[in-house]
Amino acid sequence: MLADCRRGFGVVPKQRLIASRFTNREKGVISMPLADRARPKTIDDVVGQKHLIGPGRPLRNIILSGELPNMIFYGPSGTGKTTVARMIAENAGKRLHKLNGTNASLADIKQVVGELDTIMGQNGIVLYLDEIQYLNKKQQQSLLEYIESGRITLIASTTENPYFYIYNAILSRATVFEFKSVPPQEAEAAVERGFRLVAEEQKLELTLEEGVTAHIARGCGGDVRKALNTVELCVLAAELRDGKKTVSLELAKELTQKSAMRYDRAGDEHYDLLSALQKSIRGSDENAALHYLARLLTAGDLLSPCRRLLVIAAEDIGLAYPQAIAIVKACVDAAVQLGLPEAQIPLAEAVVLLATAPKSNTANAAIQAAMADVQAGRGGTFPRCLQNKHYDGEGNEQIGQHYLYPHDFPDRYVEQQYLPDDLAGTVYYTPAQNKNEQAAKKYWDTIKSKKRG
């Protein structure tokens, strides 16, 4: 394709090109996004999703069978969910009715149901509900009767986890297929197709510098729609000379510099990034941790990584390096005062420090075990020695507190019961094998064994 682009699609005078573009706009060609104009016509033209529509794969077999089960397509934007839904409806010879959950109402759903008894719905209707997570429970429930009878086949799509956002009765009647981000090497085919189509529509001789298609494919973050939008921008932004346009690599880089960002502060991607950051630090991979920090900061999210880094310092590094939380707090404070972009420097310092520090989750494990006992109702009383010393009311069989003050004893230690009676002897904390915790363990083992001796 790259060589074909360099050869171009014929030279036309500038005046003829402009006239041609106005004609196309009047026909609605130019105004329609390139992602829609370049939509694949066959299964084999769909880029990505080989795990679903590759030869012998389940969704491909369903499409070819002509039989339609209810399905939910889950995955990022621009990965082919709508395209595949259209192909499924066309192959089954059924009318496709599309609604978007962001603006659909009960009236819209009733209008679709009303078509069932008309000539348009005599073969059944495929209802494609895009962004179904935005429909409320009542709206989703209104479809159940028709889905159950088979008069409406539901294909729903969502960018959010369907098990969190879709009504259980709908889920139980549908099969979930997960669409994944399109790898750059596969997205490149869609980018090439987009350049070819724009050149044909505008009757341009279009030349691409080496690396343009590959850069756009890499920069789209697995979103083919973004890639095709960038293709159209590149052609529009390129200078026209005698009916010829050249898309330079520099122009492609300028227009795709932030296309790789896929981020929603209230969505799964937000929590996935924070989870990836923490797990990379926990796994002592500073390079991966820096990558996920960079993605968060590039999206302009400063406070979320700050908060998560403080959690990591306590949860994952903990007592193996107790000073870490103080250092990270200083880095976080500096980052908040500096703001972006300079905030990236102290935060990078905190990430590298935490990733390369020794790890211990013993404090976290200990408090979780203690919380479990409290929530189970254990240990509701106090040893008498820990109660307020004035607690010697009438009827108290054990007059006097009998508290032993450790500072009055050698090594500032004396044995006495601190846990409630029903938890006496319970061990929540077990030191990890790192020098800080082992040093503390050795110190107290020596003192306590001396007292017992």
Q: Classify domain 362-452 by CATH number.
A: 1.10.3710.10
Q: Classify domain 2-40+183-256 by CATH number.
A: 1.10.8.60
Please give the Cα distance from 217 to 231 (Å, whole number). Answer: 10
H helices present in 127-261, as ranges: 137-141, 144-149, 162-165, 168-171, 184-202, 212-219, 224-237, 249-256
DSSP code at position 318: G
What pLDDT does 255 receive? 87
Most distant CA atoms of the chain, gap in Å: 108
All CATH 3.40.50.300 domain ranges of the chain, comma separated, are: 49-178
CB atoms within 10 A of CB 333: 12
- The rounded radius of gyration (Å) of the Cα atoms in the chain is 32
Pairing mode, strands 240-241 and 244-247: antiparallel
Nearest 10 degrees: CA dihedral of 440, 442, 446, 451? Answer: 50
| Contacts with 52 (C-beta within 8 Å, 6 or more apart), sequence order | 58, 59, 60, 84, 177, 179
What is 416-446 written as a DSSP string?
A: ---S-GGGTT-------SSHHHHHHHHHHHH
| Residues composing the chain | 453
All CATH 1.10.8.60 domain ranges of the chain, comma separated, are: 2-40+183-256
Residue identified by tokens 């960079």 is 294
What pLDDT does 365 receive? 93
What pLDDT does 121 receive? 56
What is 152-174 written as a DSSP string?
A: EEEEEEESS-HHHHS-HHHHTTS
The CATH architecture annotation of domain 268-356 reads: Up-down Bundle (1.20)
Residue identified by tokens 């279009």 is 206
DSSP code at position 106: H
Write phi, then psi, for 125 (nearest 5 degrees). -120, 140
Please give the Cα distance from 149 to 134 (Å, whole number). Answer: 24
Cα-Cα-Cα-Cα dihedral sign, residues 131, 136, 142, 146: positive
Q: What is the pLDDT of residues 73-96, one digit of tens each?
A: 998 888 999 888 888 888 777 777
What pLDDT does 452 receive? 65
All CATH 1.20.272.10 domain ranges of the chain, comma separated, are: 268-356
What pLDDT does 102 receive? 85
Please give the Cα distance from 377 to 384 (Å, whole number). Answer: 19
Write phi, then psi, for 302 (nearest 5 degrees). -100, -45
Regions of the chain with pLDDT less than 50: 1-30, 259-260
Selected from 3.90.550.10, 1.10.3720.10, 3.40.50.800, 3.40.50.300, the CATH number assigned to the domain covering 49-178 reads 3.40.50.300
Please give the Cα distance from 180 to 76 (Å, whole number). Answer: 7
Q: What is the pLDDT of residues 302-326, one digit of tens each?
A: 899 999 999 999 999 999 999 999 9
What pLDDT does 177 receive? 93
